[in-house]
Amino acid sequence: MITGKNYVGYNLMGTGTTKFRTFSPLLNKFNSWDFIEATDSEVNLAVDKAWDAFKQYRKRTPAERAMFLELIATEIELLGDKLIEVYMLESGLPESRAIAERTRTLLQLRSFAAYLEENDSMFFIHPKSTELLSKKLIPLGPVVVFGASNFPLAYSTAGGDTVSALAAGCPVIVKSHPMHAGTGELVAAAVIKAALSAGMPDGVFSNLNCGDHRVGIQLVQHNSIKAVGFTGSLKGGRALFDIANRRPEPIPVFAEMGSTNPIVISEKTLNKKSAYWAEKIVESMIQSAGQFCTSPGLILAVDSADLTAFSEFLTEKLENKNNELMLGQVIKDSFSEQKAMMLAQKTTSVLSDKFTNNTLDSEPTILMTSGESFINNKLLHEEVFGSFLIIVKCKNQLELEKIVENLDGQLTGTLLVDELEMENYSRLIESFQYRVGRLIFNGVPTGVEVSQQMNHGGPYPASTDSRFTAVGTDSIFRWLRPVCYQNWIGELFL
Amino acid sequence: MITGKNYVGYNLMGTGTTKFRTFSPLLNKFNSWDFIEATDSEVNLAVDKAWDAFKQYRKRTPAERAMFLELIATEIELLGDKLIEVYMLESGLPESRAIAERTRTLLQLRSFAAYLEENDSMFFIHPKSTELLSKKLIPLGPVVVFGASNFPLAYSTAGGDTVSALAAGCPVIVKSHPMHAGTGELVAAAVIKAALSAGMPDGVFSNLNCGDHRVGIQLVQHNSIKAVGFTGSLKGGRALFDIANRRPEPIPVFAEMGSTNPIVISEKTLNKKSAYWAEKIVESMIQSAGQFCTSPGLILAVDSADLTAFSEFLTEKLENKNNELMLGQVIKDSFSEQKAMMLAQKTTSVLSDKFTNNTLDSEPTILMTSGESFINNKLLHEEVFGSFLIIVKCKNQLELEKIVENLDGQLTGTLLVDELEMENYSRLIESFQYRVGRLIFNGVPTGVEVSQQMNHGGPYPASTDSRFTAVGTDSIFRWLRPVCYQNWIGELFL
């Protein structure tokens, strides 16, 4: 069932000679399938097909696109246990997570389908109030989507970027993530089946394999690619952003990147609900070995005996949990390196470090530092992707507010606060919202609801363009642009 | 009344020593005012003030911002004839144009004010459909606006970019255009007066002078600047775009740049309405010496005896018009250089070249070339800013369609067509819309209505981000981003 080849539109191709394999964290060995990297000419062929497909696909009605998305969901369901099995083999994530992520992926497909069906007039904006002018949204053109290491389903092959681009009327070329190329191929096969039965043009979807950056760079530089969707590291997202902006014709790159997802904890919360929130935060930080872009990495609070007690609760709760496995060696190495950098900072002290000798172990870690050290050391602001948390003890509310005001851009910011304290926190809240894409009250940052109200993005470096969301139906606007029609003769028929 | 100094927030400052003057095309001499370039520290002070002002200004209600915009309009009106006088001295444009542009500028201010008053809930998007989530639009931060050479009022100091940014809640620093720094200072004084009477924070608006690129580059590179608005050349817009994207924290640049604004003329139109449209197009191309970003520069039609007759009409109509003066020597030199480049192409023939020995004369020119030459020579696709038109004779409808499909991105595309022919042109129209920001039927591209339905922008190189408009109330979305609030306690009070 897994061929290791590339879907260049409807054609399964593997003329290349460079191969790679995916790795099973649980079995601690390489999986058996050989994936064949797409050749330069296969990449160009996929783009040419996408460009030709664009001229057809953009004319399909919202209802036709909705049906296509629904068929994709059905085909993914039909993959059944095989998909879950391969997902687990390639990620080491537990079955419950695999099933939950599949559910989410299906939900995304179906919610976009419903959105298109219910809003088939959404592409016509500002129904004409003058005789002369009307405005419509049209798709940008072929979109390249980069599969995310940490979401083999929901942010990869038929994940959020792909679905929103297809909904917009843009053909999609997926650069499959090499850590879960098998999962990717299974899903790609489902998309291809759906495209065929929906009568979509050849090239509306392609799925290309590559173990390094070559294929991705070639795609982003190609003149017929008109936008890019990416979920991953700051380094990767910024590199693609730079490549896209240096093109003769620059194109939009929506990269959803790093975040430390700060949690501010109020005095009353520390006093009254310390144990409760310690448990919640530990659960949030260790979930999927902390490999979520919304995993909490920073706690900010004013120093007090309650904060000390809370820190002890955190440590205690964490010690009671089992470590998980990280997704792969590259990610673990990056975690270890970043963690070592943090530990090397003289002003940090270790509260908990569940170091083991297991290669892929998540090794959750909690450090503590002072507000002053945090302000003076920008290294402490960096994201450590994984289960890693720094508690910042601020000397007073003013210092806490200063830190919040000067945070890097974040996907999320969380405030654990009592209703009675809201007045005291109004200044902090006001400035907090300007540093984040989502402001959460009395919750944890992990768990991103798929809905129109969601915003998943934020000021740089959380994303490359804070004006758009990566999750929820509004994410379609990344791939659409307005056209104004002046003095149109008769009915708009396009 | 004109001091030549910079408005650094509320302070009129001129500590620098470098000075420049504006030039009067009509009098053919420099105007008498000395403009003092802003120093590095004045630039930094303006940005620091804008950042401080941002923290206050963003909290002002839409109604308060609307009142501010209305006061700006009133203060500009109070400048009276003096403004028109200085405008004419610095641009050489006729009084009628000066008055029309002032009217447009006032309309923009007042339509944004009305928009904010009528849509004070616009910042709250997708009223919550779940208990947990709601979403609001918030301003990005201080915006730098570059004055445009060809619109001393409507796209400069208090023009479209400034008004939309102020409406969004962003403080504005204007880099005044050195060709009309006096007009700029008068308008800036009006904005400052309005800000003072509306009780706006110091730094909500600044106006800085500079004869070259220094101040502009310093502003765009400054960490506290969060977005850029620009109207001008491809070279200038691209340079700012590149600077902004190379920052540690990249920021959005909306640059509205060049365009040849192609006009496709149908067989029936050429046959029946040749003289009528020849007159209209000539009027459109010579208006304000062709110094509009929507000035028509390209005519596409299938070769026929009617096309030859039409070309003769065009030439005849053009010969009957008086040449106008261009805005300044830099613009004229650029026109002459680009025009010479076009004339040097072996495949073009000159239909009309109203060359004179007057330094600033607009020298309208019409060339003709074949579809094949146009396809094979990308130089012929370039914009010549000024009164310059190329007629492309296509050998058949298929070649015409091929040219349209492969056009560079354009602000506008126009189709002069008979209703009975629409069926034959449906394929062309479908692909034409993908190359333009605005598709016009039986009209001319000049004249950009200020309304919600307008789209002024388009695929690169028409603009740096086709997803936004520079004109009309939707232009506010360039400066806003969403924030999601999850599990908010009580009423949203921010």
What tens digit of pLDDT does each residue of A416-442 get? Answer: 999 999 989 999 999 999 999 999 999
Tell me the C-alpha distance between A302 and B400, whole Å. 70
From the CB of residue A63, how many other CB atoms can be counted at a distance below 10 Å? 12
Q: Which residue, among A257, A259, A414, A481, would best test binding to B if mutated, counting the most B CBs under 10 Å from its CB?
A: A481
From residue B133, give the alpha-carbon distance in Å to each of A164, B86, B186, B484: 20, 53, 46, 7
CB-based contact B84:B22 (threshold 8 Å): no
Q: Residue B433: list chain A partners with CB under 8 A.
A: 138, 483, 485, 494
Q: How many residues does chain A have?
A: 494
Q: Which of A42, A70, A256, A383 is catalytic?
A: A256
Task: Identify the CA nearest to B163 among candidates B207, B239, B107, B218.
Answer: B107
Axis-axis angle for helices B80-91, B62-78 (nearest 10): 80
DSSP per-residue codes, B18-79: -EE--EETTTTEE-SPPEEPPPHHHHHHHHHHHHHHHHHHTTS-HHHHHHHHHHHHHHHHHT
Contact residues, chain A, for B241 at CB < 8 Å = 245, 250
Which residue spans of chain B are classified as CATH 3.40.309.10? 262-441
Sheet-wide strand order for B298-302: A124-125, A133-139, A480-486, B436-441, B410-416, B262-265, B298-302, B388-394, B365-370, B349-353
- In angstroms, rounded to a whole number, what is the distance separating the alpha carbons of residues A483 and B466? 9
pLDDT at res. A119: 82
* Cα(A292)–Cα(A284) distance, integer angstroms: 9
pLDDT of residue B358: 84
Task: Give B-chain residues touching A140 at CB under 8 angstroms.
Answer: 466-467
Cβ-nearest to B489 among A245, A430, A441:
A441
Is B451–A426 a contact, with Cβ atoms under 8 angstroms apart?
no
Residue A293 known to be catalytic? yes
First-to-last alpha carbon distance for chain A, in angstroms, is: 41
- The distance from CA A450 to its chain's CA centroid, rounded to whole angstroms, is 12
How many alpha carbons fall within 13 Å on the CB side of residue A329? 7
User: Quick one: closest CA in A to B430, which residue?
Assistant: A494
Minimal Cβ distance to B441: which of A436, A474, A488: A488
Chain-chain contact of A451 with B250 (C-beta, under 8 angstroms): no
CA distance B373 to B375: 5
CA end-to-end distance (rounded Å), chain B: 41
Least confident of A100-104, A207-211, B122-126, B325-329: B122-126
* Exposure string for B416-426, b = 16+ CB within 10 A, e = fewer: bbbeeebeebe
- Residue A149 to residue A22: CA distance in whole angstroms: 12
CB contact under 8 A, A431 and B480: no
CB contact under 8 A, A484 and B454: yes
Phi, psi dihedrals of residue B144, rounded to the nearest 5°: -95, 130
Q: Please indicate whether, in this complex, the C-beta atoms of A129 and B452 are within 8 angstroms of each other.
A: yes
Domain B6-257+463-486 falls in which CATH fold?
A: Aldehyde Dehydrogenase; Chain A, domain 1 (3.40.605)
* Residues of chain A neighbouring B486 (CB-CB closer than 8 A): 438-441, 443
Write the DSSP symbol of residue B135.
Answer: E
Give the distance from residue B249's alpha carbon to the nearest chain A alpha carbon, in angstroms: 6
Contacts of B441 in chain A (CB under 8 A): 485-489
| Interatomic CA distance for residues B470 and B450, integer angstroms | 10
Out of A170, A210, A293, A394, which one is annotated catalytic?
A293
pLDDT at A123: 77
Q: Which of B37, B70, B101, B293 is catalytic?
A: B293
For residue B32, CA distances in Å to A38, B150, B181, B187, B371 come to: 67, 21, 12, 18, 50
pTM over 0.80: yes
Identify all chain A residues contacting B482, using CB atoms and an 8 Å cutoff.
437, 455, 457, 467, 469, 474
Query: Residue B493: pLDDT above 60?
Result: no
Q: Which of B37, B70, B101, B256 is catalytic?
A: B256
| Residues of chain A found within 8 Å of residue B409, distances taken between Cβ atoms | 249
DSSP, collapsed to helix, strand or coil, labels residue B144 as strand
Taking contacts as CB-CB distances below 8 angstroms, the residues of chain A near B443 are 486-487
Task: Choose, out of B243, B486, B487, the residue to mutate when testing the contact with A (most A CBs < 10 Å).
Answer: B486
- Under DSSP, is residue A377 helix (H, G, I), strand (E, B) or coil? coil
Sign of the alpha-carbon torsion through A59, A63, A64, A70: positive
- Is the preceding peptide bond at B62 cis, omega within 30 degrees of 0? no
Surface-to-core class of residue B428, CB atoms within 10 Å of its CB (0-12 exposed, 13-18 middle, 19+ buried): buried
CB contact under 8 A, B486 and A441: yes
Contacts of A58 in chain B (CB under 8 A): 434
- Say if residues A317 and A278 touch (Cβ distance below 8 Å): yes
Q: Rounded to an integer, what distance in angstroms lies between the CA atom of residue A347 and that of residue A177? A: 38
Distance from C-alpha of A317 to C-alpha of A321, rounded to nearest angstrom: 7
Whether pLDDT at B131 is above 70: no
Decide if pLDDT at B191 tops 90. yes
d(CA B236, CA B177): 13
Of B455, B469, B483, the CB nearest to A455: B483
Determine the residue among A432, A464, A467 to mutate to test chain B binding: the one whose Cβ has the most chain B Cβ atoms within 10 Å: A467
| Predicted pLDDT of residue A128 | 52
Contact A485 B438 (CB under 8 A): yes
Could you please state the CATH topology (level 3) that the domain comprising B262-441 is classified under: Aldehyde Dehydrogenase; Chain A, domain 2 (3.40.309)
Residue B108 near residue B452, CB atoms below 8 Å: no
If you average pLDDT over residues B119-145, what whole number do you get?
A: 80
Locate CATH 3.40.605.10 in chain B. Answer: 6-257+463-486
Measure CB to CB from residue A486 to each of B128, B438, B494 and give the nearest one. Answer: B438
* Residue B488, pLDDT score: 83
Does ipTM top 0.90?
yes
The Cα–Cα gap between B351 and B319 comes to 11
The residue of B467, B468, B469 whose CB has the most chain A CBs within 10 angstroms, and thus the best one to mutate to test that interface, is B467
Q: Is the pLDDT of residue B326 over 60?
A: yes
For A476, A481, B183, B432, the CA distances from B436, given in Å and listed in that order, are 20, 11, 32, 7
Amino acid residing at B292: F
Spans of chain A below 50 pLDDT: none
Distance CA A415, CA A428 (A): 10
Per the annotation, the verdict on B256 as an active-site residue is yes
Strand boundaries in A421-476, DSSP class E = 436-441
Asked if A62 contacts A123 with a C-beta cutoff of 8 angstroms, the reply is yes
**Closest to A332 measured CA to CA, from A366, A302, A291:** A291
Q: Do A430 and B465 make contact, defined as CB atoms within 8 angstroms?
A: no
Tell me the shortest Cα–Cα distance from A413 to chain B, in angstroms.
Answer: 10
CB nearest to A419's CB, from B439, B478, B490: B490
Residue B214 corresponds to which tokens in the numbers above? 């220094």
